[in-house]
Structure 1
Amino acid sequence: MLALIVLGLAWELWLSPTGRGTLALKVLPLAFAVTGLLKMRLYTYRWLSLLVWLYFTEGVVRASTETGIGMVLALVEVALSVLLFVACSWHVRARFKNRAALAAG
């Protein structure tokens, strides 16, 4: 997730800015998730696994409409979004399996 935050900031502020850099605010929802992830809150993992699809969609749209470094950054955003979704989904699934095993045991 931190890689997605860094990518979003670097993309919009230095590497290939669009406008005045106000699109860098798009990483703000990810920043809110940091404390919840550090505290291992299941709720944060669950809503983050849904939120990440917005970043995936942005990456797909920008990869198909931009050229050069913008397209490369968009493809990296798509890959990081998928990776974050898989990690969140795996964590939620593992927590539920662990909870079920503790209840059954």
Structure 2
Amino acid sequence: MTQQLSSSGPVDDAADAPAVRWSRAIAVSSLLGLIVLGLAWELWLAPTGNRTLALKVLPLAWPLAGLLKRRMYTYRWVSLLVWLYFAEGVIRATSDRGPSVWLALIEIVLCLSLFAACAIHVRWRLRHPTATTEENRS
């Protein structure tokens, strides 16, 4: 494997592999979907009466930059954070009525796709580590 220098530092070939690009695209789109769904759900589609519940999407906004910059640490902790939203989806799918059930099912699907994409991304990059050069060792 080779490394190329970009304006933001070294970029490895493993990070540009199709599996990594695909998993990154799925992770980012699932995360954006969860943010949009959370806001729309609590503000317009099926508000619970307390619009401050829309603030629950704030923790989802933090990792967006890390996912876009391919930071492994971000992919790892997002795969843990997503289970909180998965649990909310399961609870609301089984306890709510009306449109909230369908919104909760969509949340569950988005959470599962985000987790799977993060897991695939991390696993693939760990199996194909970047090539170290003399510049990176010093």
Q: Does 1:50 align with 2:80?
A: yes
Q: Does 1:75 align with 2:105?
A: yes
Q: From the CA coordinates, give the structure whose radius of gyration is larger.
A: 2
Give the alignment partner of residue 6 of structure 1, picking from 36, 39, 51. 36
Q: TM-score, normalised by structure 2?
A: 0.71
Q: Distance in 2 between matches of 1:47 and 1:74?
A: 22
Q: Does 1:89 align with 2:116?
A: no
Q: Distance in 2 between matches of 1:23 and 1:45?
A: 25
Q: TM-score, normalised by structure 1?
A: 0.93
More helix as a share of residues: 1
Structure 2 residue runs without a partner (length 5+):
1-30, 133-138
% same residue: 62
Paired residue total: 102
Measured on the aligned residues, the alpha-carbon RMSD in Å equals: 1.3
Give the alignment partner of residue 39 of structure 1, picking from 65, 69, 80. 69
Q: Distance in 2 between matches of 1:98 and 1:19?
A: 49
Provide runs of 4+ in structure 1 moved above 4 Å: none
**In the TM superposition, what is the alpha-carbon distance from 1:19 to its structure 2 partner?**
2.3
Q: Which residue does 1:62 correspond to in 2?
A: 92
